Amino acid sequence: MNDMYAQRRLRLADHLGAGVAVLATAPEAVRNRDSHYPYRYDSYFYYLTGFVEPEAVLVLVGGVAPKGLLFCRARDPEREVWDGYRHGPQGAQEKFGFDAAYPIAELDARLPELLADQPRLAYAVGHDAAWDARVLGWLNAVRAKARSGVAAPQEIVDVRLWLDDLRLIKDAHELAVMQRAADISSDAHRRAMRAAHPGRYEYEIEAELLHAFVSAGARQPAYTSIVAGGAHACVLHYVENNAPLKDGDLLLIDAGGELDGYASDITRTFPVNGRFSGPQKAVYEIVLEAQARAIAAVQPGALWNAPHEAALAVLTQGLKDLGILQGELSGLLEQEAYKPYYMHRTGHWLGLDVHDAGEYKRAGAWRELVPGMVLTVEPGLYLRPSESLPQPYWNIGIRIEDDVAVTAGGQHVLTSPPKTVVDIEAWMRG
């Protein structure tokens, strides 16, 4: 495992060349008074280190023989009684395979020495104003030695530009973790479907999801779960999750667990009472077909936008068939007539972050899909009450989302909760 992180550092060193890269993990966040939010490390830092303690910084010194140096908290028996075990520099070096490790308290003293006479400095430029000021302090300390012939880095690069490309292509280990995260989350959605019925509250169903995540080892949700009954499903980021579920309404659940840092992201929409009404089924079948076409468009060599375009064609034609839109399909697509009912993209990169690292365009052109990329495919329709919308369709909000890996032969869908009308109704009947 340590070799995996070391290899990633070497790949970054290839981009860096001669120079120094500095990456800090995330700070702890205070929830209130002396209580903290559950700690979550920085994804870039974790990708290169596997180290999960707070107050840690990776320094990568490039060149012919790159070196990975870790700065972390020193051992502290008293604090460890309260907060738990710390590796300390020596333990971290031995367990995680760094070339050297130092107490985090020595960072400001050692960095000017490491930056001296280096041509390039790479870090997350502009990510944090306090960190920018700290970096400037190191550079000024080096510049203060100019009369002694010491030079500061002349080039500053945003290290995320390289890391985004590295993180975008998942290796076999990452894909295996993401598959397990998807399996756990798929089971959670199945559990939620079985638990839903009229009279229960949205938060009760959220609790079923959290139970399934944690009991299978995904200790945290990858993002705040959306459990949206009825009209709430037409609010894209609804997270209050505090309303009762009503007979005849649909329930939209957008939820995924995080396992070993990697996210899953699934959306299913189903009837609270286990039976789709005629209008609900009609809209649902349109979204399901849009998703099927979009998933089929996920192919190596295809452009990033291909799944979105495939989904748009089906959704717009479906709205036309329902009588909600009028006109020729090509004109409706050109006018973006679907926008009142479908206002988001059809997917995003997925990995250590829910909206994962990686550009969608390069030099103004959509990026090509290649094996190892993982993305979501999530078309939807959101029919809010309006004079132009037939009343039987009011407050129908539907989204269907799966996690899809690009493979050499096409694509592999990682997620698996029921999603056809027949399968959903059968599963909910038990």
Q: Which of 53, 208, 249, 265 is catalytic?
A: 265
What's CA 383's distance to the chain center, in Å?
27
Whether 401 is catalytic is yes
Whether 41 is catalytic is no
Whether 412 is catalytic is no
Instruction: Please report where in the chains the tokens 């050109």 appear, as a residue.
Output: 334
Q: Which of 8, 167, 293, 399 is catalytic?
A: 399
User: Distance between CA 393 and CA 416 in Å, rounded?
Assistant: 28
Whether 127 is catalytic is no
Rg of the Cα trace of the chain?
25
Amino acid identity for residue 284 in this structure: Y
Whether 344 is catalytic is yes
Q: Which of 33, 78, 85, 237 is catalytic?
A: 237
Whether 254 is catalytic is yes
What's CA 405's distance to the chain center, in Å?
14
Residue 304 tokens read as 């990033």
Residue 71 tokens read as 């700065």
Whether 348 is catalytic is yes
User: Distance between CA 225 and CA 209 in Å, rounded?
Assistant: 9
Whether 202 is catalytic is no
Q: Which of 53, 356, 401, 402 is catalytic?
A: 401
DSSP string, 219-253: -EESSPPEEEEGGGGGSTT-----SBP-TT-EEEE
Return the sign of the alpha-carbon dihedral for residues 350, 356, 358, 364: positive
Q: Which of 191, 348, 367, 412 is catalytic?
A: 348
Q: Which of 34, 78, 328, 387 is catalytic?
A: 34
Whether 382 is catalytic is yes
Q: Which of 42, 53, 202, 254 is catalytic?
A: 254
Query: Closest Cα partner for 197 from 252, 248, 255, 266?
Result: 248
Whether 34 is catalytic is yes
Q: Which of 143, 173, 355, 362 is catalytic?
A: 355
Residue 134 tokens read as 């700290």
Helix (H), strand (E) counts: the chain:
13, 21
Q: Which of 47, 338, 342, 382 is catalytic?
A: 382
Q: Which of 378, 393, 402, 403 is catalytic?
A: 378
The order of strands in the sheet holding 250-255 is 226-229, 250-255, 266-271
CA count, 13 A, side-chain hemisphere, 118? 26
The residues annotated as belonging to the active site are 34, 237, 254, 265, 344, 348, 355, 378, 382, 399, 401
